[in-house]
Amino acid sequence: MDIKPQNLLLTEEFQLKLIDFDLAYCQGDYFVLSHGTKYFRAPEVVKDKCLDPMAADIFSMGVLLFALKVEGRCPFLEDANEKRISPFELLQKDREKYWAFVCEQLNKPPEFFDEDFKTLFEKMTKFDPKERPKIEEIKQSNWYKKEIYSQEELKNVMIQALF
């Protein structure tokens, strides 16, 4: 219930580990269902109406996926005080306008986000928790199945990122 970049570690073998389970959900523990970190929380968590913690975590993982791709920037803000449509609402209503908006805000070319990434992200951040994919479905997505770095390539990428 608190998936965010600060709660991730890399092992010496560059394996990703999730840490900090102080807000982990235990069956019947309704206290954590309205917590988490701003900008990474699912809409139902923000509204204190979370009925499916796993679906809320899928939403958070979608936001995390986006943030890792764009060096820490979040795809939406929770502050709904603005009079204009929020980026989250825009994504739910008009995906093309959303991605054009994001690319403009991040100063990225449209091809920065490939279709497989966009499709997976959109599914993971659906407003309705019942429409979000389960882990098994995520693992079957085209983006997830794409070629990954070898251990040596990953080591080189991470070393370059650190220095």
Question: What beta strand segments (E) does 38-130 contain?
Answer: none
Q: What's the CA gap between 40 and 67, in Å, rounded?
A: 10
Question: What is the DSSP secondary-structure string of 36-57?
Answer: S-TTTS-HHHHTT--S-HHHHH
Burial of 34 from C-beta contacts in 10 A (0-12 / 13-18 / 19+): middle
Q: What's the CA gap between 101 and 116, in Å, rounded?
A: 18
3-state secondary structure of 98: helix
In total, the chain counts a number of residues equal to: 163
3-state secondary structure of 15: coil
Q: Look up 2 and say whether it is catalytic.
A: yes
Instruction: Find the catalytic residue in 2, 57, 116, 128.
Output: 2
What is the set of active-site residues?
Answer: 2
